Amino acid sequence: MSIEIRGPLELPARREDIVLQTADELTLVGELAVPESSDPVATLVTLHPLPTAGGFMDSHIIRKAAARLPALADLAVLRFNTRGTTSPRGTSDGAFDGGAAEQFDVAAAMDFVRERGLPRPWLLGWSFGTELALKYGRQHDVEGIILLSPPLHRATEAEVAAWAGDDVEVVILVPELDDYLRPAEARERFAAIPHANLIAVEGGKHLWVGESQTRRVLTEIVAAVNPAALPLPNEWPVA
């Protein structure tokens, strides 16, 4: 007997409420999810959409990555609220700073990854989170970055181009019908990174609403980080 994997279904994993301490003495709340009975093969450090527009650690793609990918792809998933952001997990200290002081939030998450010995970290940013990944990801030891619906409102041309000189994978998912940056313009604006893998998602929208879009995004994440786990199943066995 099995059940369909969709919506808010949470698959088995070891889940732990965590706190992150920033260099400017703030406490951020979050969660770490790891495979239930094995070591993770890689780590997703997630960076959520714009908090002033409702983004938080439970934004649906990030929540579903944490709910499914430890079980389906042997990944550790770290998610947290950036400064001043609230979710059912709680409220992180501080106040939204437009992407400036949030560099300390990214650093705190990467410090946690290093202290826990979590393997092969990737930054997974969505919308505002992609700006943080682009602006600050090069300061840290990451295997790659995955950018979902990048608006490129805050990351400068120079900050984007700087990734050309790094041996770090850059995967970019651009929805065909995005509200801010569509594939044709995205190809121009990311052309400064010759090794970037830009994936135009037909029919995709900025918020990736719907199970088919969720599955496409999670599949592309796993294709980058642990392709041996593909194809992702659509059903989960139950007793």
Q: Which two structure tokens, joined as six digits, stand for 238?
A: 């139950």
- Supply the CATH number for residue 231's domain: 3.40.50.1820
pLDDT in tens, 147-167: 999 999 999 999 999 999 989
Domain that holds residue 15: 2-237
Burial of 17 (0-12, 13-18, 19+ CB in 10 A): exposed
The pLDDT, as a whole number, for residue 239 is 77
Which class for 73: exposed (0-12), middle (13-18), buried (19 or more C-beta within 10 A)?
buried
pLDDT at 53: 98
Number of domains in the chain: 1
The three-state secondary structure class of 230 is: coil
pLDDT in tens, 121-139: 999 999 999 999 999 999 9
Tell me, what's the pLDDT at 210?
97
Label residues 26-64 b or e (16+ Cβ within 10 Å = b). Answer: bebbbbbbbbeeeebbbbbbbbbbbbeeebbbbbbbbbb
CA angle 165, 80, 178 (to 5 degrees): 60
Please tell me the predicted confidence (pLDDT) of residue 213.
Answer: 98
- One-letter amino acid of 213: Q
- Measured between alpha carbons, how far is residue 54 from residues 28, 50, 86, 199 in Å? 17, 7, 9, 26
- pTM of the shown model: 0.98
pLDDT at residue number 126: 99
43 DSSP β-pair partners: 76, 121
